[in-house]
């Protein structure tokens, strides 16, 4: 009888100890499961928009990226746009799609990509040419809205212009012109560069670049532009001359 009583006591002690130690383990397991579930939901939320870019859909065309840009503009989805910006630091295909989405947004509503000016400036140093000219495209869309931010990193812009592709150079004209127009101090630095560019760029680039630069032409600097265009006027075809004449006419008015 005494033995049974002793065994019964030992069982109760064992069960008591088991409950004390196993309960925290169960709670910790539940906690880890809950934390994992929350982290997974956050991760999915952050990547939600990246599911709609072209590469994620196994598409080789830009239509999905343009459609996504239009959707983000129509819904004014700032959180969705921030998700696209995170894609700039991912694999090459994702980054290429994301820069396309962003400058398509900028074309429709520049204010929506304005908060990411610094990100675009960083991309000017990228080894991925697609990101470089895509970033310059985006900067051209917002330069008039944040000239001080961009001018603070003028050396990066100018370096990209000097060594950039044809498309990078095209869009750098928009950026430089916007900076030139922003202040007299900016003009003193940038105007000579623009004049030099028009004097030395390829003939076929003159009309487009002159059109892009036109926003910074004023009564005070108009003669400098007239002179450089006059010097190269004979190189232009009739259609090119017509485009240049349109800009000159707007200056005269």
For residue 202, pLDDT over 50 is answered with yes
For residue 5, pLDDT over 60 is answered with no
128-141 pLDDT per residue, tens: 999 999 999 999 99
Instruction: For residue 117, give the nearest of 97, 159, 145, 80 by alpha carbon.
Output: 145
Per-residue model confidence (pLDDT) at position 12? 58
Please tell me the distance from the alpha carbon of residue 100 to that of residue 123, in angstroms, as a whole number.
Answer: 13
74-93 pLDDT per residue, tens: 999 999 999 999 999 999 99
The two three-digit tokens of residue 188, written as one number? 């003193």
For residue 101, pLDDT over 70 is answered with yes
| Chain centre distance of CA 134 | 7
63 contacts: CB under 8 Å, gap ≥ 6: 54
Sign of CA dihedral 75, 130, 97, 80: negative
Instruction: For residue 86, give the nearest of 58, 62, 108, 119 by alpha carbon.
Output: 119
User: Residue 25 — pLDDT band, cuts 50, 70, 90?
Assistant: very low
Q: Which residue has the tokens 């819904």?
A: 75
Contact 117, 93 (CB under 8 A): no
Q: At what angle do helices 92-108 and 129-142 cross, to 10 degrees?
A: 20
Instruction: For residue 83, give the nearest of 93, 69, 62, 104 by alpha carbon.
Output: 69
Domain boundaries, the chain: 45-112
148-161 pLDDT per residue, tens: 999 999 999 999 99
Q: pTM, whole model, 2 decimals?
A: 0.81
How many CB atoms sit inside 10 A of residue 56's CB?
16
Per-residue model confidence (pLDDT) at position 123? 98
The two three-digit tokens of residue 85, written as one number? 């910006």
DSSP state of 219: T
DSSP state of 61: S
For residue 13, pLDDT over 90 is answered with no
Q: For 66-70, which contacts have Cβ atoms below 8 Å and span 24 or more sequence positions?
A: 66/100, 66/104, 68/101, 69/100, 69/101, 69/102, 69/104, 69/105, 69/108, 70/104, 70/108
Contact 91, 126 (CB under 8 A): no
Mean pLDDT value across residues 25-44: 42
Residue 33 vs residue 114, higher pLDDT: 114
Q: Which residue has the tokens 């400098």?
A: 224
Per-residue model confidence (pLDDT) at position 251? 85
Per-residue model confidence (pLDDT) at position 41? 43
């Amino acid at each position: 009888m005494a033995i049974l009583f002793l065994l019964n006591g030992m069982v109760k002690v064992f069960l008591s100890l088991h409950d004390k130690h196993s309960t925290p383990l169960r709670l910790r397991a539940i906690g880890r499961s809950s934390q994992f579930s929350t982290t997974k939901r956050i991760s999915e939320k952050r990547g939600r928009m990246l599911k709609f870019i072209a590469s994620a859909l196994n598409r080789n065309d830009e239509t999905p990226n343009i459609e996504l840009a239009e959707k983000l503009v129509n819904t004014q989805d700032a959180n969705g746009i921030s998700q696209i910006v995170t894609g700039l630091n991912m694999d090459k295909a994702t980054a290429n799609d994301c820069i396309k989405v962003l400058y398509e947004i900028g074309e429709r509503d520049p204010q929506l990509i304005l908060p990411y000016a610094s990100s675009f400036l960083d991309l000017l140093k990228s080894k991925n040419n697609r990101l470089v000219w895509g970033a310059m495209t985006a900067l051209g869309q917002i330069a008039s809205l944040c000239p001080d931010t961009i001018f603070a990193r003028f050396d990066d812009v100018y370096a990209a212009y000097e060594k950039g592709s044809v498309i990078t150079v095209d869009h750098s004209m928009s950026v430089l012109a916007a900076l030139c127009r922003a202040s007299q101090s900016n003009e003193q630095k940038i105007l000579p560069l623009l004049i030099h560019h028009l004097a030395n760029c390829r003939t076929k680039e003159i009309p487009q670049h002159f059109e892009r630069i036109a926003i910074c032409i004023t009564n005070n600097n108009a003669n400098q532009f007239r002179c450089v265009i006059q010097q190269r006027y004979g190189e232009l075809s009739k259609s090119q001359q017509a485009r240049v004449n349109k800009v000159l006419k707007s200056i005269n008015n």
